[in-house]
């Protein structure tokens, strides 16, 4: 059995105390942000102990854990305790609720980091759905189960029945995570492109129009508008689609937060189509609307953003290929002109030079380069052209099964030059290496290989687009030209 000193030792090791003014300020900011979010949540509940249908501290806490790491869990525990104490919750209940909420958000952050790519969860639609499942369903269920189990065991059963209270608790944590965590993670955890003037104007029109419609549907005029059937709550959805289709994930998350913040405010004050005699039921109906439309909006924004990134990558690859082809044409033209000038100046070697020029033109007309595309993040070959089988004398299937198999053919003396393509710390925009390969039949070929680097938004190498040219014949022609020139010099 583990002794008490050993347990205390492990607990002390798990706590990271601030060791600089910056860390201390960061810890205080986390506590303050969660506490203020808790005060906001307390304003929209009349249950005791406080159980809100919308609980913003959960979203702030999950965002803090994903952005800053698990070391901030003590700050989350302290903030949760202070929120409970500010609501006049009994001490033991405050401690139990603080532990339950902290355990829930820790589990949610861990699951999001492990299965939904953490900060990058909103880059793809599957990531969005995984985040919603793990942070907005599983994590709140854990917290609600721990807290409600203790509260009813301790005698806090004068409120709603267990099922309703557990559902309200879990839904409140889930909606708080859905509204606040994506916006905070996106604004502080990833880089953003700067909006052009036209985009800024469009976003301003979107937000102003959304505010006007929300204040109409969920404001004092809502009863008149609803009675006349002029506007329904679904009139807000086009604005969410507008944000999802026209802007990035951050703008979409901000639009969701603004719209449903206004909707919650109006519903809490008795305005809008979700109002019912029971304010708690009103907010529960509203959060169901929030969950469906908010998740769909984030998924749409992620899907379209992913598509834009793919299109940008393809355009970049196309530009690289065009530039490469143009450069090859210039090189071939210059070489042909040089050979023709040598023919004119050296009449004695006319036959040899004409033959060399003919062979070179034939080579230029039939040359076939090897195109390849490598995913560096997963070390996976995405594509290699069939010319690989002609140049390397090996089937393309070996490259797909083992992307490093091409290196087995590299001449031992040129291995160091070929290994240049494995340098992932380079600051250059391309690789360039010339090496020899030994085909299975023993033939040695000279290769000029260029790799064009594609970086992700963090500056790390994500993909490499390459073009490998078989320059064996060119090498041989150059050697013959040198020998002919040498012969001409010796004759003169």
What are the phi and psi torsion angles at 453 (to 5°)? Answer: -85, 135
Which H or E element spans position 46? none
Please check whether residue 428 is in contact with residue 436, taking contact to mean a CB–CB distance below 8 angstroms.
no
What pLDDT band is residue 366 in, cutting at 50, 70 and 90? low
Which range (42-56, 83-97, 464-478) has the least confidence?
A: 42-56
Residue closest to 54 by CA, chosen among 168, 211, 133? 168
Mean pLDDT in residue range 358-386: 71
Mean pLDDT in residue range 423-429: 77
Q: Please give, one letter per residue, the 3-state secondary structure of 138-159.
A: HHHHHHHHHHHHHHHHCCCCCC
Angstrom CA distances, 233 to 152, 317, 426, stand at 37, 45, 53
Question: Is residue 374 packed enough to be buried (19+ CB in 10 Å), middle (13-18) or exposed (0-12)?
Answer: buried
What span, in angstroms and rounded, lies between the C-alpha atoms of 192 and 207?
A: 19
Q: What sign does the dihedral 256-262-265-267 (CA atoms) show?
A: negative
Q: Give the per-residue pLDDT at 231.
A: 58
* pTM of the complete model beyond 0.85: no
Q: Give the per-residue pLDDT at 205.
A: 92
pLDDT one-digit tens code per residue, 176-202: 999 999 999 999 987 777 788 898 999
Higher pLDDT, 426 or 415: 415
Residue 239 exposure: Cα atoms within 13 Å on the Cβ side: 24
What span, in angstroms and rounded, lies between the C-alpha atoms of 462 and 379?
A: 9
Axis-axis angle for helices 91-115, 139-153 (nearest 10): 160
- Highest mean pLDDT of the ranges 229-243, 323-337, 447-461: 447-461
> 124-127 long-range contacts, Cβ below 8 Å, gap at least 24?
124/302, 124/303, 124/306, 125/299, 125/300, 125/302, 125/303, 125/306, 127/302
DSSP letter string, 437-449: EE-TTS-EEEEEE
Domains of the chain are 4-305 (no CATH), 346-491 (3.30.450.20)
Angstrom CA distances, 346 to 354, 461, 489, stand at 11, 50, 10
82: CB partners within 8 A, 6+ apart? 31, 35, 38
Please check whether residue 266 is in contact with residue 289, taking contact to mean a CB–CB distance below 8 angstroms.
no
Starting at the edge strand found earlier in the chain, the sheet holding 370-375 runs 380-384, 370-375, 461-470, 444-455, 430-438
DSSP letter string, 285-336: HHHHHHHHHHHHHHHHHHHHHHHHHHHHHHHHHHHHHHHHHHHHHHHHHHHH
Percent of the chain past pLDDT 70, that is, above it, reads: 82
Please check whether residue 374 is in contact with residue 464, taking contact to mean a CB–CB distance below 8 angstroms.
yes
- List the Cα angle 346/350/351 in 5-degree steps: 155
What span, in angstroms and rounded, lies between the C-alpha atoms of 46 and 34?
A: 20
Residue closest to 421 by CA, chosen among 453, 380, 397, 454? 453
Q: Give the per-residue pLDDT at 80.
A: 93
Residue closest to 165 by CA, chosen among 53, 3, 292, 34? 53
What pLDDT band is residue 8 in, cutting at 50, 70 and 90? very low
């Amino acid at each position: 059995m583990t002794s008490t000193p050993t347990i205390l030792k492990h607990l002390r090791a798990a706590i990271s105390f601030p060791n600089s003014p910056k860390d201390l300020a960061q810890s205080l900011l986390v506590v303050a942000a969660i506490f203020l979010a808790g005060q906001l949540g307390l304003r929209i509940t009349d249950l005791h102990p406080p159980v809100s249908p919308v609980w913003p501290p959960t979203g702030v806490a999950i965002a803090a854990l994903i952005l800053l790491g698990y070391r901030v869990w003590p700050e989350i525990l302290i903030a949760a305790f202070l929120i409970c104490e500010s609501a006049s919750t009994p001490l033991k209940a405050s401690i139990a609720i603080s532990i339950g909420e902290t355990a829930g958000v820790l589990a949610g952050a861990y699951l999001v980091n492990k299965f939904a790519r953490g900060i990058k969860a909103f880059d793809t639609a599957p990531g969005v759905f995984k985040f919603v499942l793990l942070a907005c369903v599983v994590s709140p269920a854990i917290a609600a189960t721990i807290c409600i189990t203790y509260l009813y065991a301790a005698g806090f059963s004068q409120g709603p029945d267990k099922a309703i209270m557990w559902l309200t608790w879990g839904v409140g944590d889930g909606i708080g995570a859905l509204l606040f965590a994506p916006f905070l993670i996106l604004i502080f955890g990833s880089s953003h492109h700067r909006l052009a003037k036209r985009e800024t104007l469009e976003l301003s029109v979107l937000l102003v129009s959304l505010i006007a419609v929300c204040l109409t549907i969920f404001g004092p005029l809502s009863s008149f508008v609803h009675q006349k059937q002029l506007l329904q709550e679904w009139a807000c959805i086009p604005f969410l689609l507008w944000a999802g289709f026209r802007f990035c994930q951050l703008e979409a998350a901000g639009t969701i937060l603004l719209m449903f913040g206004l909707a919650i405010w109006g519903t809490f004050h008795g305005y809008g189509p979700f109002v019912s005699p029971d304010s708690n039921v009103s907010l529960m109906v509203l959060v169901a609307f929030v969950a469906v439309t908010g998740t769909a909006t984030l998924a749409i924004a992620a899907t379209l953003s992913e598509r834009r990134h793919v299109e940008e990558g393809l355009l970049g690859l196309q530009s690289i290929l065009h530039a490469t082809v143009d450069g090859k044409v210039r090189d071939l033209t210059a070489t042909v002109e040089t050979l023709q000038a040598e023919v004119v100046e050296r009449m004695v070697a006319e036959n040899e030079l004409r033959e060399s020029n003919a062979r070179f033109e034939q080579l230029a007309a039939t040359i076939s380069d090897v195109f390849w595309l490598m995913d560096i993040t997963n070390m996976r070959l995405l594509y290699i052209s069939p010319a690989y089988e002609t140049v390397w004398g090996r089937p393309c299937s070996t490259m797909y099964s083992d992307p490093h198999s091409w290196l087995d053919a590299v001449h031992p003396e040129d291995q160091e030059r070929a290994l240049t393509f494995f340098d992932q710390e380079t600051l250059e925009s391309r690789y360039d290496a010339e090496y020899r390969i030994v085909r299975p039949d023993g033939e040695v070929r000279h290769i000029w290989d260029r790799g064009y680097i594609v970086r992700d938004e963090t500056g790390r190498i994500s993909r490499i687009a390459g073009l490998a040219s078989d320059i064996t014949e060119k090498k041989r022609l150059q050697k013959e030209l040198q020998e002919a020139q040498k012969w001409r010099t010796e004759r003169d």
